[in-house]
Amino acid sequence: MMEFRILGCSGGIGSGLRTTCLLLDEDVLIDVGTGVGDLSLEELSRIQHIFLTHSHLDHIAGLPLLVDTLFGVKSKPLTIHALPETIETLKQHIFNWQIWPDFAELPSAAEPSMRYVPMRYGDQIELGHRSIRMLEASHTVPAAGYSISTENSAIAFSGDTSFSDSMWDALNGISNLKLLIVECAFANEQQELSDLAKHYCPKYLAEDIKKLKNNPKIAITHLKPGYEEQIMSECEAAMPGRDLLQLRTGDRFKF
């Protein structure tokens, strides 16, 4: 069994809205958006591994504060799994002693509070009964999605992406795919913005979803605040016959 708890899944902030942060069981986070701030200190202290999709702020905003909060609370370092480019960006622009201290060297380089493990597309990491694999996304910065498989079931998360053959090929190779969390950040009227920011709008997602040969439940995430209803009704119109739902903060899925 594995449990997924949605701590944040909005494209922005505002009352009740949190940015992308998914908790897998008790010990793994996928992205560290503002949603992480709703966990208790005890829950935070159980986190061991963090998988990042990319370096954009809505996906990492909570990371510097999380590491700082756990400093001195946890004896083991937090392990950050991400693309090498994402790790480099974090080192240069966040943990650079100006925006925030470099916790990969604190309290000492030998026993740090966080450590980086670079991952490439297709790499797979085994954590107990769960296999976590990095999928190739296509966004304005190097970006990834992840699939998480156990013996009996699998779920996948697109991260931020636009059109991608590689990701949909990989999804077709996953047997027992029960849930696909896929982004659709913008409404169709924001197609130009979708092109510029490399996000899906319903029309684009519907084109790519035709490549999907299996039939998982599809949870739409990263909706632009204020456009949620419009995006969802456009998704339903564009993808008839698909089992769609709007992902919401607080949702829990067990497989």
- Residue 185, C-beta contacts closer than 8 angstroms, at least 6 positions apart: 11, 160, 194, 197, 199, 200, 201, 222, 223, 224
Minimum CB separation of residue 19 from Zn ion in Å reads 7
Question: Cα–Cα–Cα angle for 21, 219, 228, nearest 5°?
Answer: 85
Q: Do the bridges between strand 244-246 and strand 144-149 make them parallel or antiparallel, or are there none, so unpaired?
A: unpaired
Closer Cβ to Zn ion, 59 or 130, answer by number: 59
**From 55-63, 112-120, 124-132, 237-245, span contacting Zn ion (CB under 5 A):** 55-63
Instruction: Considering only the stretches 37-45, 54-62, 96-104, 188-196, report the one whose residues sit in contact with Zn ion under the rule CB under 5 A.
Output: 54-62
Q: Chain centroid to CA 35: how far?
A: 12
Which value, in Å, is the radius of gyration of the alpha carbons in the chain?
17
Q: Which of 49, 56, 133, 224 binds Zn ion (CB under 5 A)?
A: 56
- For the CB of residue 31, give the shortest distance to Zn ion in the complex, in Å: 8
Dist. CA 202–CA 238, nearest whole Å: 7
Q: Which two tokens stand for residue 118?
A: 């670079």
User: Which CA distances in Å does 28 have to 17, 51, 133, 234?
Assistant: 21, 8, 13, 33
In the complex, least distance from residue 64 CB atom to Zn ion, rounded to whole angstroms:
17
The reply to whether 31 sits near Zn ion by the rule CB under 5 A is no
Nearer to Zn ion by Cβ, of 136 and 160: the residue is 160
Nearest residue (CB) to Zn ion, 58 versus 136:
58
d(CA 143, CA 119): 11
Instruction: Locate 164 and state its tokens.
Output: 């991608």
Nearer to Zn ion, 160 or 208 (CB): 160
Task: Provide, rounded to whole angstroms, the least separation between the CB of residue 59 and Zn ion.
Answer: 6
Report, in Å, the least distance between residue 54 CB and Zn ion.
Answer: 6
CB nearer Zn ion, residue 70 or residue 160: 160
In this structure, what token pair is assigned to residue 9? 């899944």
Neighbour tally for 166: CB within 10 Å: 15
Tokens linked to 137: 């996304």
Question: Nearer to Zn ion by C-beta: 184 or 239?
Answer: 184
* Closer residue to Zn ion, CB minimum distance, 58 or 208: 58
Q: Which stretch binds Zn ion (CB under 5 A): 50-58, 86-94, 188-196, 244-252?
A: 50-58
The tokens for 196 are 């510029």
Residue 120 CB, shortest distance to Zn ion, in Å, is 19
Q: Contact with Zn ion (CB under 5 A): which of 31, 160, 208, 234?
A: 160
Q: Min. distance of Cβ 58 from Zn ion in angstroms?
A: 4
Query: In the complex, which residues of this chain contact Zn ion (CB under 5 A)?
Result: 56, 58, 160
